[in-house]
Amino acid sequence: MKAVVILSGGMDSTTSAFIAKNEGYDIIPVHFNYGQRTQNRELKAFNDICNYLGLKDRYIIDLPFFKQIGASALVDTNIEVPTDGIKPGIPVTYVPFRNGIFLSIAAAIAEKEKANAIYIGVVEEDSSGYPDCKEDFIKKMEDAINAGTKPETKIKIKTPLIHLKKEDIVKEAIKYNVPLELTWSCYQNEDKACGVCDSCRLRLKGFKKAGVKDKIPYL
């Protein structure tokens, strides 16, 4: 069995990769450079994790058009990354239809590689509220992918973390011996994590509630 794993280098996607491995899949990792603020640091995390897992074959896809589209604080430096806490609604860090585009490209790779599954580390229950992280969206993308590929192509989109709280994701990571110190979650810094963006807040909350110390550097 083979699985394409969308691997950003963050805690959630990395844990999903380790779960895929534990479930018996040969992993085909794919990473996207889309002009995000921490592009270089995320790429380093991706490569570090692939090296840790002994994955020599990997896809690194450049998607510069996200910066041209803009409309997100992650790709437009004129929009500030919120640092005053998580609020209701869809935040300005949402990148329009990012996961839909990622899944479409992953599907093309999966069809080429004759993979059975795509793993993506989306989290619906305890997240920033992105619409492309919802279970209903993922199911509809799976239906569209299977409708738009060859008849013999049967791809399952697997989301092992989608209903977990962040502290449970930390516990899952520890269970599967995930090197969390190699992962990166911060939205805006590449040397020391800011600790105050939504992603850092969610990560730190998860570690605190799990009773585990986060080993990455923070300001």
| Dihedral over alpha carbons 214, 26, 63, 73 (to 10 degrees) | -20
Residue-wise pLDDT for 155-179, tens only, equals: 999 999 999 999 999 999 999 999 9
Per residue in 39-93, pLDDT (tens digit) is: 999 999 999 999 999 999 999 999 999 999 999 999 999 999 999 998 889 999 9
% of the chain residues with pLDDT over 70: 100
CA separation for the pair 105, 82 (Å, rounded): 29
Q: Is residue 218 part of a domain?
A: no
- Domain-located, residue 89: yes
Q: How far is CA 52 from CA 17, 121, 142, 192, in A?
A: 12, 19, 30, 22
Tell me whether residue 219 is in a domain: no
User: Is 216 a domain residue?
Assistant: no
Number of domains composing the chain: 1
Q: Read off the CATH number of the domain in which 189 is found.
A: 3.40.50.620
130: containing domain: 2-210
pTM summary value = 0.97
Whether residue 166 contacts residue 199, with contact meaning beta carbons closer than 8 Å, is answered with: no
Q: What is the mean pLDDT of the chain?
A: 97
Determine the pLDDT at residue 156. Answer: 98
**Residues above pLDDT 90, as percent of the chain:** 96
Average pLDDT in the 130-143 region?
97
Within 10 angstroms of residue 183's Cβ, the number of other Cβ atoms is 25
Instruction: Write down the pLDDT at residue 63.
Output: 98
Q: What is the pLDDT of residue 45?
A: 98
Residue 128 has pLDDT above 90, yes or no: no
